[in-house]
Amino acid sequence: MKKFLIIFLFLISFFSFDVKALDYPDVNSKYVEVYDLTDNKILYEKNSNNRVSIASLTKIATTITAIESISDLDEKVKITSKILNIVSSDASVAGLKNGDIVTYRDLLYASMLPSGADATNSIAILSSGDISSFVKKMNKLAQKIGLNNTNFVNVTGLDDNNHYSTADDCRKLLDYALKNPLFREIYTTREYTLTNGLVVKSTLFKYSNSSVDISRILGSKTGYTGNAGYCLSSLSNIHNHDLIIIVLYAQHKGLSYFNINDTVKIIDFINNNYNNQILVKKGELIKTIPVEFSKIRSYNIHSSKEITKFLPVDYNKESFKIKYSGLKKLSFYNKVGTKIGSMKYYYEDKLIFTQQIKLEKKIKIDLLKIIKKYYYVFIFSFVFLLVLLKMFFSVIKKFKNKR
């Protein structure tokens, strides 16, 4: 009994350790989504469909809306006191001054990098006449993308009960925006000099400290309000996979801002626990098809390429399946170069790759095998032929006799 108890406890400890290895690290952020852009797959989510304030992550929508709606981004515009006076006193600013002459392109960088509400308001008013008109464009874009849990009432992200989104919608928005080359360039820039000489820097430096390595964060947009907490959208690349990480409603302790810390923690976890797992090696034997009436008994099908998928190190191998559809048997009738079937590779019932299979080697006939299998046919045919010959000669003989 004692021996069985020891074995039972060992098994429990083994399996509990295995499950723990799969768990994502605990994070301070209340709303999280981790998305693999390369494979179009959510890797992890935490309350990602809850409607919440998103602070300056709103400026992602402001920026991509401006890029798509302003015809000449290098047009020069003038910053006025009327624009600057409506900037909220608790909003972050880029440092624009009354009378500054800049381009719309400058304002995009000044909006995204230092999260300047002065730049964001300038974009809206100078391009659309007023903020409400520009916000309508933002909401129209949100509907186009399919952000069903998002509504904008301003261009900066300041708290408002009717201004909300979700971690999942923020990911969808960023996914859409990153497809635009200019937005991607702005999003991944850390420092930029405007045409008026003003230097703007990413707020990522403001929230990070020397104890946190932010080098893997390739692009980002931070945000903070009282209702939203500390937020961060980020782009990272791990093992040649682009990842979007959204963290919302994080807190801070001293100089530790958990929107940064959580993101770095998630990046480290994925880097250490995920990789492009080799599911099938190139040239690996996948299937054999029986061959009839030939010197070879079977025809071997090999993988035409290496099949990989971005998965955790302890992925479920039973979730990977290969399905063949095509000819069940081959013979000398099948010609080289003709299609004999296809091989489909699945992981968790999702198609990864389809391999078209053509006959690559000539199948030579083996007469002896045909004779062995159909000997009774040959015997019957031989006897039948003899009978026919006998009948033929009998008819000929009778015909000659009559003459």
pLDDT tens sequence across 348-370: 999 999 999 999 999 988 766 66
Q: Which of 69-78, 127-136, 329-338 has the lowest average pLDDT?
A: 329-338
The percentage of the chain sitting over the pLDDT mark of 70, rounded to a whole number, equals 90
Tens-digit pLDDT profile for residues 298-320: 999 999 999 999 999 999 999 99
pLDDT of residue 22: 62
Backbone φ, ψ for residue 399 (5° rounding):
-65, -40
* Residues taking part in catalysis: 56, 59, 115
pLDDT of residue 14: 43
- pLDDT level of residue 379 (50, 70, 90 thresholds): low
Do 83 and 125 meet the contact criterion of CB atoms below 8 Å apart? yes
Position 293 pLDDT exceeds 70: yes
**Residue 167, C-beta contacts closer than 8 angstroms, at least 6 positions apart:** 31, 32, 33, 45, 46, 47, 48, 49, 50, 52, 246, 247, 248
Position 10 pLDDT exceeds 50: no
| Distance from C-alpha of 160 to C-alpha of 165, rounded to nearest angstrom | 12
Higher per-residue pLDDT: 78 or 384: 78
Tens-digit pLDDT profile for residues 133-153: 999 999 999 999 999 999 999
Q: 248 in helix, strand or coil?
A: strand
Q: Which of 80-94, 171-185, 382-396 has the lowest average pLDDT?
A: 382-396
Nearest alpha carbon to residue 329 among 354, 363, 304: 363
Q: Domain 27-273, what fold? A: Beta-lactamase (3.40.710)
pLDDT of residue 250: 98
pLDDT of residue 7: 47
Do 64 and 141 meet the contact criterion of CB atoms below 8 Å apart? yes
Tens-digit pLDDT profile for residues 237-267: 999 999 999 999 999 998 899 999 999 999 9
Nearest alpha carbon to residue 204 among 193, 189, 194, 225: 189
What is the Rg, in whole angstroms, of the alpha carbon atoms belonging to the chain?
Answer: 35
Calculate mean pLDDT across residues 145-166: 98
Answer whether CATH 2.60.410.10 is correct for domain 281-358. Answer: yes
pLDDT of residue 223: 97
pLDDT of residue 18: 37
pLDDT of residue 20: 40
pLDDT of residue 370: 62
pLDDT of residue 248: 98
Calculate mean pLDDT across residues 23-51: 96
Position 13 pLDDT exceeds 70: no
Calculate mean pLDDT across residues 54-78: 98
pLDDT of residue 9: 46
Nearest alpha carbon to residue 65 among 136, 161, 162: 136
Nearest alpha carbon to residue 221 among 111, 92, 57, 108: 57
Position 332 pLDDT exceeds 60: yes
